[in-house]
Each structure stands twice: as C-alpha cells, then as structure tokens.
Amino acid sequence: MSSSLSTFLMVALGSVVLAACAPESQLSATASTGASEGASGLAPADAAAERATAAPPRLRPADDTIAGYADRGDLVGYDAVRTIQRRGAHTFYPVRVSEAHALDAIATGTLHVTGPDGRRIDLTYERHVEHPSGDWSWIGRDEHGMDGILTFGEKAVFGVLPYGEDDALRLTTNAGQTWMATTAKGVLSPLERRINAGLVGPDYRVPPPLPEPQGPRMAGAGKSVVAASAEPPATTTTVDVLLGYTPGFAGMLGGTSQAQTRLNHMVTVGNQAFTNSGVDVSLRLVGTLQVSYPDSGSNETALEQLTGSNGQTTVPIPAALQPLRNAREAYGADLVSLVRRFRDADQGGCGIAWLIGGAQTEIQPGHERFGYSAISDSNGMQAPDNGHYCRDETLVHELGHNLGSQHDIESARGTDGVLDPNEYGRYPYSFGLRTDAANGNFYTVMAYGTQGQTPWRVFSNPESTFCGGRPCGIVNQADNARSLRNTSPLIAAFRNSVAGGDTSAAENDVDGDGRSDVLFHNPVTREFSYRIMNGTAVVRAALIGNVGPGYTVAATGDFNGDGREDVVWTSAARDLYMWTGNGNTFQSVFFGTYPPGWQVVGAGDVDGDGRADLLFHNPGTREFSYRIMSGTIVVRAALITPVGPGYTVAATGDFNGDGLVDIVWTSAARDLFMWTGNGNTFQSVYFGSYPSGWQVVGAGDVDGDGRSDVMFHNPVTREFSYRIMNGTTVVRAALITPVGPGYTVAAIGDYNGDAMADVVWTSAARDLFMWTGNGNTFNSVFFGGYPANWGVVD
C-alpha cells in the first residue's frame, strides 16, 4: 500500500471510529466498517447487505414520527380521547402506534398486536425492507401462516394484519392520526354490488396485435440488478416500476411524505404476494413523481391518456402526464402506474391495466408501449368513498395484468358465461383462482372474490398449499405462478436498468419530492438557507443559523440513501462535517478529515448503491480518491493515480446511464477526458475539446434519457451550449444565444420533476432566472433574488 494511500485511509477511517463512538438513538450495534485497496486484506463490511437483511432501521425520535408511541409490549395502544368512528361497514378505532415495538420485534422475533375486541395476535418476524426514501417495512406471519405487513414513514404508517383465520385489520393514517380499521363481514359496497351484477366492465384492456417480430425473438433473460434497498437474490427477475400520483392522492394522505410511504407500502405488499407464491419476481420502485392530473374521470380514460392510445387509435397525451412518461425513460421503468384518489362511481373501479399477452398473444418488445396501468387508492381516508376501500393488493393486481395474468376463469367469462379468445391471459392456465365453500371459499390476488370469501395474498399456484392448507391453483387451468415465471423476464427487458433510479436523484432535493431545490450560504452572517421549488415557484423557504466560522459547502448529495439532500462542510482545517437532512432541517455530524494538498471535488454514486460518495483530488501529487459512504460512515476508500498534470474535475454525472458516477476532466488545453466508472475504478477516454473562451459549467440530463450531458458557457460571446452524451459519444449538440450579460450558471438540477435538466442563472445584481428545459431548448423565467453576502450553492 502506498504511503499516500495509507495516510489518506488512516485519516478517513479515523472518522469511522469517532462516528461509531458518538451516542445514537439506535436499537442495534453499529455495523463494522473498513477500507480496501485491491488485495490489501482490509475487507470492507457489506453495509448495504447488512442493512437489508439483518440490522434494524434506526428508531426515529418520538417527536419526529407519527409512530412514536412508547413500546409497552404491543404495536398499538387504544386512544381513550378520540372517539370510535363508523362509516358504513367500516369501523375506525383511534390508536397510537409504536414503531419502537416493531423494531424490537426484529430482535425478539415476535410482534404483538391487540385487536379492537381484545384478542391478541402474535406475528413471527420474517424480514424487513428498507426503502430509499427512509421508510421501512416489517413483515411477519401468524400461527396460520398468514402474513402481516407494516410500513413506517416519518408522517404515516400503513398496515394489513391477519386477525384470526378469516379476518383482517387495516392500519391507516388520516390527518396526522392513526386508526385501526375493521370491516364487517358479508357487507358489500355499492361498487362490489355493481361488479357482481355485471354493471362494471373488466379492469383490463388487451393490446392490439403487433406486427410480426423480425429477427431473433425475445430471449427473456431479464436484467441485472445493480442496487436496491433490499436486493433480491441473483436469480430473481426484477421488474422496475415507476409510480406517478396526483395532488388529490397526496392531499388525501396529508402530503408528499405520506404519499411516498403509502406507495412504498403498496410495492411491499406486491412483493410479498410474489414471495408467498414461490415466484422469484421482485418489483423495484425506481421512482415516484407527482403529476398535475385530476382525480375526476374514469380510470380507463386515464390509462388511455397515459398510454397515448386506446388500442386502436392514437390518444393525445396531456401535458400533465408527459413528465411521467419522460421519467420512465430516465429511470428505466419497465412498467408505470398512475395512482389517484379513489372516486366512486366516477372512476369506474379501483384500477385498470393493459393485459399484455392477453388472448394468448406472444409478448414482444413492442408491447413496452402498453406497460401502463391506472389505479385508485382510498386507504388514507378515514371515510371510504361510497363505502368502498380499494385493497392494498390493487397495485400488484393491475401489474399482474401487465405481466400477462388474468382473473379467475369464472370472472373472465363475463356475464355471458362463455370464455372468449380475448378473455384469456398469456397462456391457457394464466387464470387466478376462486373456490366455492366446499373447496375453501377463498380467492387469490388475480381473482375477483364474492361475499364472505377469504382473500389470500398469493397468485394461483397448484403446487402451493399456502391457501389454508388447500391447493392455491388448478393444474393447467389456474396457475398464475407458472405464467409469471415465463412472462416476467420479458417484461423486465422492456427497459435497461438504471441503478439508483428514483426521483430523489434530483440534485439538491431537500424534501425528497423528486424536484431539485435551491441552496444558499452566507459566510458573513454564518447562515444557510434553502428554497423548496416546484418549477419556478418557491413552495417554502427555511433559514438555518450558526454555521461554523470559516466553513464552506464542499459537496452535496444523498449520502444515506433516504431520498433527501445532505450537505458536507469543510474548512481550512480540512475537517469534514455532514449535515444529514430530514426534509426540513439538518443534523450535524463530524466524520473525519483529509490530508494536506487534497481537495473535495464533489460527490457521486461510485458503487451504484443509491448513496452518494465523496470525491477528492490532490493536484500536487496528481492523485484522485473516493470514499464510499453509508451516511456518515466510510465503508471503504480507494486511491487512483496518476492523474494527468494540470487536469481538474470539470463535471460529474452518469453519462452512460449505468447508475455509476463518471468524471469529466479538463485542462488549460481545453481537452476533455471522461473517466467512466465501474464501481471500483475508472476507464479514461478522450472525447473531444472545446473552443477558446468557453467553460464547462456542469452536467445534467438535458433530454431526459437517463444519461447526463455536458454543459458549456461562453461569458464573452454570451452563448450557452450542451452536448448530449451516450457514454463518451456525443450524440448531438446545440447552441443557445444570447445569454444575458454578466450572468453565470449558479446551479443545475431538475426543479419541476420532469426528468430534464433546468439551469439557474444569477448575476452581480443577485437576481435569479431559471431556464426550464424541454429536451431541446430552454424557457427563461425570473423567479426572485437574494440579499447581499449570500451565494447560491451548487
């Protein structure tokens, strides 16, 4: 090991010891860490894997979470102040929820829940999942093998819990309060009665025939899994999912944080259905995005407008839905679903999707254009709409249609009782299962249940007796599991994976809403400020005082993978402090120093684990180094040498869309070299130069293709230019003129959440203009100013 690396690592890992000794509100021991350089023998701990499979999430401070009830040996305590609410067949019991008890149940192995009538259920811990947003889910089973799923967020908690052999409890959040809900057996809502009477059409549409495929047919090998909050085994087929949601959905739940928690819960419920079915398929939520689309109108209309087709003719795509389609390309989503607040009877049901492979049609690459669904949700409402709640399995049911699965054979036949060719799924056996009283009186995920039947969170599978000891399917007739094993690799090949793809990838996203925010620092008054942005509109702003004297922002990024911006500060003493963001304020933690001659040159995800890492450069010794971060913990570090003399970092980004940071270098010769990352080291490739008078001003995804592009500015000629990149290849370039005199680029990000780069400009007058990108050019909008002595932080 070189002496330079040894010095660098000793300084870096010294911070680990200091961080580990600091008191934390945590229920488990701090994971071990280390550093490595090739075969140095210092093997790093796999922090990501430990977090996903063993170590429990951190306990939030009680004042900062909706589930801050103390652990008194039970998940809930019934609130004697609030009154019980009854809405039709649904009864809501006010409860206080203990996240601490759920965390403790990971260690003890048992979670206790007392029901409204005093019965107690015990759930045996099975696993937990940590979501990139900072939410987490707890999964366990009761004595009958029925699973319970809880998802905890900062401002919401949701759950579905078994309550005996044929009953269930629902834990929900409304207006900042938590409720345990029960539903009277055998009582049908108006929507259920309409469905049973044949007055509601099917919740799927079969895509039209596609032209015969040319060349080799789809092999269906699926894609590699690069990074996820709970990475499935290598044999698992991962289907990347993007969820859009409406303002009405977020408003119903109380805000974007609550909406994110609800969506995380839906995906976890879906993945549990695959697990219960013995199907090695995993849904990976690569992004969420709020779109300005109404909750009014049918789900069928929403599906057609999102798709841009009704299956026969082209349908205009509303401007409100275009950002969701753009985000699909940026984040490599195989399937996309729009989630709206449930409105009965306006929406016509709880969801609708394209049944890809319907009518026993071969699934082709061209079917990717139909990888859409639209669903409704009502679980955030204390009062269900018109007496109906959309089930937590609604999302996975509709995605099941996208994956070629059909309802139970009785429901598929429709009112005429005849099974027509277009009423099949992909295969003759792609049906769900619904049984009569003599055979268990239950139904599976893809089936439509009738009054009094027991729902099992499982896809039909004749090889499984998960359904209360009875077969969950019928050989060659009701076998969704077999069908899914065949179709999922084909659907998973609709898009190339974009590791770490989630809307929180927006630069400087303070509140985790998928949109960049503007950061400011005043070194004179030692204050820091941010403005939460929605396009060019300032949603809110905050001021944070008492920044240490002499400290400047060294880097920004999401270092703990919770979807919220963190800020790294340094000073002339070369010390490092991380401000870990929670969406509103920050917690300051010292995490080390770095040697003389070195500079922090930015942050980026070196290893594709969904967390930013710190980048350093020493121009004197011509060395480059990075530190792999897990929050404030240094997991490992590496030294790369030599860097060419006179070269400096011009921009960082993901220029080839593989989810790993790449680095653009330049010199006084105005040449450009790209270091393409592979998770450990970099490959240097020359990819051009630029004329005299021009400067590289950063990188951002101009065209929304999921790859960063290089941006340039010439302050003398007042011109701006970008180069669309595909790795080290320049796909195209554009020149935009004129730029206002005296203006410089202050920040680059995605401020409206449309997955395309926007550019913030400022001048000596301290005014702010945003260039909002549309994939080709920009629209300039003035959006304010800032006081003297302040500066914009990029």
Rounded CA separation 524/788 (Å): 10
- Note whether 483 and 515 are same-domain residues: no
Q: Which residue matches tokens 């549990």?
A: 272
- Note whether 490 and 563 are same-domain residues: no
- Give the helix/strand (H/E) hosting 71: none
Assigned domain for 704 exists: yes
How many residues appear in the chain? 794
pLDDT classification of 36: cutoffs 50, 70, 90: very low
The alpha-carbon radius of gyration of the chain (Å, integer) is 27
The CATH code of the domain that includes 699 is: 2.120.10.30
Give the pair of three-digit tokens for residue 383.
Answer: 């009062």
Q: What is the pLDDT of residue 751?
A: 95
**Helix (H/G/I), strand (E/B), else coil: 284:** strand
Rounded CA separation 554/76 (Å): 44
How many distinct structural domains can be found in the chain? 2
Rounded CA separation 443/680 (Å): 49
Q: What is the pLDDT of residue 396?
A: 98
Assigned domain for 48 exists: no
| pLDDT at residue 341 tops 50 | yes
Give the pair of three-digit tokens for residue 206.
Answer: 């079969």
**Contacts of the segment 550-555: beta carbons below 8 A, 24+ positions apart:** 551/577, 552/521, 552/523, 553/519, 553/521, 553/793, 554/600, 555/600, 555/602, 555/603, 555/612, 555/614, 555/615
3-state helix, strand, coil in the chain (%, to 5): 15, 35, 45
Contacts for 411 with CB less than 8 Å, ≥ 6 apart: 434, 447, 448
Q: What is the pLDDT of residue 9?
A: 31
Q: Which residue matches tokens 């729009």?
A: 338
Contacts for 437 with CB less than 8 Å, ≥ 6 apart: none
Domain closes at, from 478, 495, 512: 495
Assigned domain for 283 exists: yes
Q: Which residue has better confidence, 578 or 22?
A: 578
Q: What is the pLDDT of residue 61?
A: 57
Instruction: Count CB neighbours of 741 within 10 A.
Output: 8
- Note whether 514 and 427 are same-domain residues: no
Q: What are the Cα distances from residue 449, in Å, to 339, 434, 456, 549, 757? A: 23, 7, 10, 65, 47
pLDDT in tens, 174-229: 888 999 999 887 677 778 778 777 778 899 999 998 875 443 333 333 332 222 23
Domain closes at, from 454, 473, 495: 495
Q: Which residue has better confidence, 288 or 501?
A: 288
Lowest mean pLDDT among 46-50, 143-147, 200-204: 46-50
**Helix (H/G/I), strand (E/B), else coil: 301:** helix
> Sign (positive/negative) of CA torsion 243, 245, 250, 252?
negative
Residue 145 half-sphere exposure, CB side, CA atoms within 13 Å? 13
- Note whether 457 and 587 are same-domain residues: no
pLDDT in tens, 86-134: 887 889 999 999 999 999 999 999 999 999 999 999 999 999 998 878 8
- Note whether 478 and 614 are same-domain residues: no
Q: What is the pLDDT of residue 381?
A: 64
| pLDDT at residue 621 tops 60 | yes
Rounded CA separation 353/273 (Å): 18
Assigned domain for 508 exists: yes
- Note whether 389 and 300 are same-domain residues: yes
Give the pair of three-digit tokens for residue 561.
Answer: 């993978």
Assigned domain for 712 exists: yes
**Helix (H/G/I), strand (E/B), else coil: 488:** helix
Rounded CA separation 378/386 (Å): 11
Rounded CA separation 265/150 (Å): 8
Closest CA to 408 of 353, 454, 447: 447
Closest CA to 651 of 779, 507, 499, 517: 507
Pairing of β 695-700 and β 709-714: antiparallel
**Contacts of the segment 412-419: beta carbons below 8 A, 24+ positions apart:** 414/198, 414/202, 415/198
Q: Say if CB 90 and CB 169 are below 8 A apart.
A: no
Q: What is the pLDDT of residue 345?
A: 81
- Note whether 308 and 432 are same-domain residues: yes
Q: Calculate mean pLDDT across residues 511-518.
A: 91
- Give the helix/strand (H/E) hosting 554: strand 552-557
Assigned domain for 11 exists: no
- Note whether 652 and 588 are same-domain residues: yes
Phi, psi of 757 (to 5 degrees): -65, 140
DSSP annotation string for 87-134: ETTEEEEEEEEBHHHHHHHHHHSEEEEE-TTS-EEEEEEEEEEE-TTS
Assigned domain for 96 exists: no
Give the pair of three-digit tokens for residue 404.
Answer: 């070629």
| pLDDT at residue 55 tops 60 | no
Assigned domain for 339 exists: yes
Mean of the per-residue pLDDT values of the chain: 87
Rounded CA separation 581/556 (Å): 11
Q: Which residue matches tokens 């202050």?
A: 746
The b-or-e profile of 95-121 (16+ CB within 10 A means b, else e) is bbbbbbbbbbbbeeeebbbbbbeeeeb
Name the percent of the chain lying above pLDDT 90. Answer: 73
> Sign (positive/negative) of CA torsion 442, 446, 450, 452?
positive
- Note whether 644 and 693 are same-domain residues: yes
Domain closes at, from 473, 495, 517: 495
Q: What is the pLDDT of residue 772?
A: 96
User: Left if phi > 0, otherwise alpha if psi is -120 to 50, otherwise beta: which for 731?
Assistant: alpha
pLDDT in tens, 70-90: 999 999 999 999 999 988 788
- Note whether 242 and 376 are same-domain residues: yes
The CATH code of the domain that includes 453 is: 3.40.390.10
The DSSP 8-state label assigned to residue 737 in this structure reads -
pLDDT in tens, 372-424: 999 999 876 665 677 788 999 999 999 999 999 999 999 999 888 899 999 99
pLDDT classification of 580: cutoffs 50, 70, 90: very high
The DSSP 8-state label assigned to residue 32 in this structure reads P
State the Cα torsion 567-571-573-574 to the nearest 10°.
40
pLDDT in tens, 700-744: 999 988 899 999 999 999 999 999 999 999 999 999 999 999 999
**Helix (H/G/I), strand (E/B), else coil: 5:** helix
Q: Which residue matches tokens 């979470």?
A: 65
Order the strands of the 613-618 sheet from edge to edge: 599-604, 613-618, 623-630, 633-640
pLDDT classification of 49: cutoffs 50, 70, 90: very low
Pairing of β 758-762 and β 552-557: unpaired
Which residue range(s) make up the domain with 365? 233-495
| pLDDT at residue 505 tops 80 | no
Q: Which residue has better confidence, 50 or 415?
A: 415
- Note whether 516 and 425 are same-domain residues: no
**Helix (H/G/I), strand (E/B), else coil: 340:** strand
Q: What is the distance of C-alpha 292 from the center of its chain? A: 19
- Give the helix/strand (H/E) hosting 790: none
- Note whether 455 and 568 are same-domain residues: no
The DSSP 8-state label assigned to residue 776 in this structure reads S
pLDDT classification of 52: cutoffs 50, 70, 90: very low
Q: What is the pLDDT of residue 235?
A: 63
DSSP H helix total and E strand total for the chain? 11, 44
Contacts for 695 with CB less than 8 Å, ≥ 6 apart: 712, 713, 714, 715
pLDDT in tens, 747-773: 999 999 888 999 999 999 999 999 999
| pLDDT at residue 4 tops 70 | no
CA angle at 540 for the pair 262 and 327, rounded to the nearest 5°:
50
CA angle at 271 for the pair 221 and 353, rounded to the nearest 5°:
75
